Structure 1
């Protein structure tokens, strides 16, 4: 483990990754998300930016001094502005990597290799370094050189083919390819650091957006490959579990989810008050219900529509059936289950961010102004010993 304490890091709370130094050259979502998760866990993260900064800084001005995307994904980091085409600045990056534990990059295809920061070179030069290349498509595939953005990868991976209405394919409304890839990259880094504890060696990690989405598409892909079934688009209805969709009440909609035979029997008895439905051959098991969804929906709507949401929720609760409302963004903003953390923006504004799952982020997390730490980091790493000597 390297010593990664910055000169002014006394205020940064300790965490499970305290002492780990991460250097990241990243943009937009996937790379910054991976690095932020490491920062949340206590790692020191130095984000290298060009003179005009991460392009996500200027997506909007939702947070006043920065965009919503940048404010969300860059808390707890230090920002240094460097010109990677300048030999002196590139040498400074190498000096940083000589002390680093993890290097994260999601530059355009081939850019890291052209800069002399490719995974093969770095893992040879710095044997303990974990190098994370976040890319659109696997390096050995014919798509390796293609630029990849979230919606493009959603489209290529088939996500859009199973999302939307029967008439209109859609992307998922948030950047799931980016978010999923950043999350997978974070998990891969933790595994690599754990393995390094046993072997003493780092490794090169390739995390492709397409791989992430293709793996998430496993269920419809396996249905197609092994059953010849092409998953259709059903809007806000589940394609292969039924009933699992919203039903209309007199004053709104309620999403109902039936996951097992026992739940189906309780639903028929307590909610529909028609126990005979549970033994109807058309609805006897999940696959039968999927095949006869139109007839089933007609029967369920006939029960739900005359009643209020409150009345049907009372029945669902009595039958121990899972349900949900279709929340708006306003509903989410005031949702009783929403937990938040305070984060300081680059201009000093305070924002309340959703709390990340699985951890409590200490208060006081800050999003760095562009280049806020440049002078200090230049001084800290200037004249560092040759990389190979540091990591050998």
Structure 2
């Protein structure tokens, strides 16, 4: 592989989505990613249908450009190989529950005592404090963070997003943190511990809705396809189907009114911000 991360060895002990998404991005940038799987394989190998050549497309979505290594960490010989990989690696990423790798000697403190240059990235669902024992599934975080209360018709039930968005955002955050830690290592010679959790990534990903509550004391709610701050910014019914209409500022609204043949609406007091 060519790219800015060429020569960087990544020991990928993660599975499902957030961790593999992060390491896929590193692989796309040229890193040599060794994906370590248990004998049963990454869970997403069994998340089917659909499939391509008898491999789940969910697995294929986030595991390109990687090498695969099967290790049973309960087997002493395989565990020795895992330690050797961690000792050679520039980056190690894992998304086990906090503390779960300590019994294998693959936790941050143990590994970096032998490999001080290692960038060690940990992804969890809810951090390593009060929520440490909770499994980190995206649907749980969509519910806990409030995204489901924002998704769906105003008078309907809450809905999850169609994609595991907070897993993806957490993966992006992990990749950014790893890149920053590699930059730090260039200057200091020492690695860092990058910690990411889905809930924090979710609160970051809620952006304007989060700030509306924190800074504006406004509790967001479901609005269907409407926007809480901009009108029009939604699909609207027409004679032959839905048409997405967006007017992100006053100039665009004036243009829209002109296209619709009602330029006088642009100056109507009812529509002034």
Among 215, 222, 233, the residue aligned to 2:211:
222
Q: How much does 1:35 deviate? A: 1.0
Q: Does 1:80 align with 2:60?
A: no
Q: Does 1:44 align with 2:25?
A: no
Aligned residue in 2 for 1:320: none
CA distance in 2, matches of 1:227, 1:43: 43
Q: TM-score, normalized by length of structure 2?
A: 0.95
Q: Does 1:263 align with 2:252?
A: yes
> Residues 38-96 of structure 1: CA distance to partner in whole angstroms, max 9, x if unpaired?
11111111111111111111111511321011111111111111111122221211111
Q: Does 1:123 align with 2:118?
A: no
> Residues 332-389 of structure 1: CA distance to partner in whole angstroms, max 9, x if unpaired?
xxxxxxxxxxxxxxxxxxxxxxxxxxxxxxxxxxxxxxxxxxxxxxxxxxxxxxxxxx
Aligned residue in 2 for 1:277: 265
CA distance in 1, matches of 2:98, 2:56: 26
Aligned residue in 2 for 1:172: 161
1:355-366 matches, within 5 Å, as: none
Q: Does 1:33 align with 2:21?
A: yes
Aligned residue in 2 for 1:22: 10
Higher relative contact order (CA 8 A, sep 6+): 1
**Paired residue secondary structure (1:111):** coil
Please say if residues 23 and 103 of structure 1, whose CA atoms lie closer than 8 Å, have aligned partners that are also in contact. Answer: yes
Q: How much does 1:127 deviate? A: 0.6
Among 132, 146, 149, the residue aligned to 1:158:
146
Q: TM-score, normalized by length of structure 1?
A: 0.67
Aligned residue in 1 for 2:58: 69
Please say if residues 27 and 65 of structure 2, whose CA atoms lie closer than 8 Å, have aligned partners that are also in contact. Answer: yes
**Paired residue secondary structure (2:55):** coil
CA distance in 1, matches of 2:180, 2:195: 13
Alignment gaps of 5+ in structure 2: none
CA distance in 1, matches of 2:135, 2:73: 20
CA distance in 2, matches of 1:162, 1:262: 29
Instruction: Indicate the larger mover: 188-197 or 58-67.
Output: 58-67
CA distance in 2, matches of 1:121, 1:272: 67
**Paired residue secondary structure (2:12):** strand
Q: How much does 1:232 deviate? A: 2.0
Among 186, 198, 202, the residue aligned to 1:213:
202
Q: How much does 1:220 deviate? A: 1.5
Give the count of matched residue pairs.
Answer: 271
> Residues 266-316 of structure 1: CA distance to partner in whole angstroms, max 9, x if unpaired?
212x2232222122222112xxxxxxxxxxxxxxxxxxxxxxxxxxxxxxx
Alignment gaps of 5+ in structure 1: 1-12, 286-392
Aligned residue in 1 for 2:180: 191
Q: Does 1:53 align with 2:67?
A: no
Please say if residues 110 and 145 of structure 1, whose CA atoms lie closer than 8 Å, have aligned partners that are also in contact. Answer: no
CA distance in 1, matches of 2:212, 2:117: 42
Relative to structure 1, is the Cα distance of residues 226 and 186 closer, same or farther in structure 2, using a 3 angstrom cutoff? closer
Please say if residues 118 and 192 of structure 2, whose CA atoms lie closer than 8 Å, have aligned partners that are also in contact. Answer: yes
